[in-house]
Every structure is written in structure tokens, then in C-alpha cells.
Amino acid sequence: MTRLGVLGWPVAHSRSPAMHNAALAALGMSGWRYQRLPVPPHLFTETTRGLAGSGFLGANVTIPHKQAALALADQASPAAREIGAANTLTFAPDGTITAENTDAPGLIEALGRSPCGMRALVLGAGGSARAVVWALLGEGAREVSIWNRTHARAQALARELGGRAVVKPEPAELLVNCTSVGLEGPTEPSGVERSATDAGALNQLGMTFDQIGEFADVVDLAYQSQPTSLLVAASAQGARTVDGLEVLVAQGALSFELWTGRSAPREVMAAAARAKDDDTGL
């Protein structure tokens, strides 16, 4: 059995096992299995180092381990080093661990068009914002503004990777939400309660419903079973939208290709990631 997995804490709700196991099944790779690997931070290094000897070829890495994953790797791609985080580890038979970051190219793939020459506004300054700012600048975005609740973190990110920290969200062509606002969606999908929750979520992002209409393309990395408040507002005003599951599928497909050397069946992965019944995961 060749093993793959996703390291996180918590990781119970990850859609990656369903997505990758569906891809393995579609390609007839019956000797492969992808599983959840719930590992608390204090056990991360020891557990991850032990995976190579336990039949694991690779692992995705999610909250809160992406920086630790880069730190423990024996070698890393230039992208992972510059971003300062890794979401994909590959284990060689001799135990060598290689780190890669597929979040950055995953965002560009999910966007479906080149951001070259575009003005972009990135909301957030955490791990995913780092990958997004790096990717947009690398693809030739004309200007990348960074807004974050804690302004000092936006300034630090801009100093390190480029872009411009702003004290309030500014108009641009492309908006990418890299904050965790949107994860806690409304329990009722419609009506007055939803409107109030949507307005509250936009408020946390320093924006109003009308301001969202100023963006032609809106990407929200957060994903949940219903569209996030940000994407509801963007769609209502005619923006092109990309949700977090599309980005998840794109980064997962790139990891899958690194490990297996096979072309990832993206449509199969997308259907599995969106399926409510996640019974293919372990």
C-alpha cells in the first residue's frame, strides 16, 4: 500500500481525503490510499519524520503546520522558501523530505485567467495571503494592495514579499479573500437572518455590499457548504466568482501530480470535494 495523507490540527473536516481517494479510484490506483493525519503541533516534527518509514509517499499540510513543514524539510522549492510555507511534502525512500507550495499555483489555476497587468486587493496577512501575494506578483499583477485587520501584519507581509499595505480596502479589478471570515456561515441559507449575517461578515472585512460591486473578479479561499457572504454579494453584483473549493481542488490536483506523476482527474476531484457525503475519507 502506498500511503498519502493530510497533516492538520484539527483536520476532521478536510475534504482532501474524499477528493484524493476519488482521484486514485478513477485512475485504478487500488494500491494507494489517502487519509487524515490529525497531529497536534508538539508532535508534528516527530510524526512527520516517521511517515517515510510507514509507507507514506507524501502528505498535504494544513493549519497550523505549513511553516513547520517547511522548517523540517531537507529540501524545498524556491516557491516554498520565498512564501515561507509548504502545503505539500514528498518522502523519498531514504527518508529525505522535500517541501513544495501548491497553494500559489493552485490559486492561479483556479482563477482561470492571468492576473498579469491587473490591480488586485488581497484581504488578510496570514499563511494563505503570503502564497496569494507571491503568486499574483509572480504572475505580473500591476499592483497588489494588502488589507488586514491587524495592519502591522499587512505591512510586514508587504515588506517581505512586495505589494502595498493599505489601511482600508481599496478598489481593484481582482479581490482575493485570504482571511478566515466566511468560515462560520449562516445556518439558514436565506431570508433576513442571512442578510444580517452577510452584512456582518463584509463589515469584518472592512467592506460594504456596494463596494464588492467594484471588483470584476472575486475569489474567496474560505469554503463551506453554502456560498460565503462575500461570494453572495459578488454574484449579486455581476462579478465573476471563484470559491474556496475550486482553489482546494487546484492545489490538490497539483500535489497529486507531484506524487503520482499522473495527470490528476480534476472533475472527479471537484465532484468528490463538493459531495456532502464524505464517506470516501479515512
Which residues are tagged catalytic?
66
In sequence order, the 6+-apart residues with CB closer than 8 A to the CB of 94 are: none
Q: Which sign does the torsion angle of CA 227, 201, 196, 119 carry?
A: negative
Cell of 150: 491587524
Calpha distance 167→154 (Å, rounded): 9
Calpha distance 10→212 (Å, rounded): 32
Site string for ligand NDP, 133-172 (x = CB under 6 A): ---------------xxx--x-------------------
Residue among 5, 124, 186, 227 that touches ligand NDP (CB under 6 A): 124
Q: Around 208, how many Cα atoms within 13 Å sit in the side-chain half-sphere?
A: 2
**Residue 224 sits in the site that holds ligand NDP (CB under 6 A):** no
Calpha distance 269→252 (Å, rounded): 8
Query: Which span (40-48, 49-57, 139-147, 220-228) binds ligand NDP, by CB under 6 A?
Result: 220-228
- Smallest gap from residue 48 Cβ to ligand NDP (A): 18
Other CB atoms within 10 Å distance of the CB of residue 13: 10
Site string for ligand NDP, 232-261 (x = CB under 6 A): ------------x--xx--x----------
- Smallest gap from residue 204 Cβ to ligand NDP (A): 4
Calpha distance 258→113 (Å, rounded): 23
Other CB atoms within 10 Å distance of the CB of residue 27: 16
Nearer to ligand NDP, 52 or 269 (CB): 269
Nearer to ligand NDP, 92 or 183 (CB): 183
Footprint of ligand NDP on 168-187 (CB under 6 A): 178-181, 183
**Residue 127 sits in the site that holds ligand NDP (CB under 6 A):** yes
Nearer to ligand NDP, 16 or 90 (CB): 16
Nearer to ligand NDP, 52 or 244 (CB): 244
- Which segments of the chain does DSSP mark as H helices, in order? 16-26, 44-51, 66-72, 78-83, 103-111, 127-138, 151-161, 192-204, 209-212, 229-236, 244-260, 266-274
Nearer to ligand NDP, 125 or 174 (CB): 125
In the sheet with 217-220, reading across from the earlier edge strand, the strands are 164-165, 143-147, 119-123, 174-177, 217-220, 240-242
- Smallest gap from residue 104 Cβ to ligand NDP (A): 10
Q: Which amino acid is at 169?
A: P
- Smallest gap from residue 154 Cβ to ligand NDP (A): 8
**Residue 221 sits in the site that holds ligand NDP (CB under 6 A):** yes
Nearer to ligand NDP, 77 or 179 (CB): 179
Residue with nearest beta carbon to ligand NDP: 126
**Residue 102 sits in the site that holds ligand NDP (CB under 6 A):** no
Residue 189, SS3 per DSSP: coil
- Smallest gap from residue 249 Cβ to ligand NDP (A): 8
By the criterion CB under 6 A, which residues form the site for ligand NDP? Answer: 63, 103, 124-129, 148-150, 153, 178-181, 183, 204, 221-223, 244, 247-248, 251
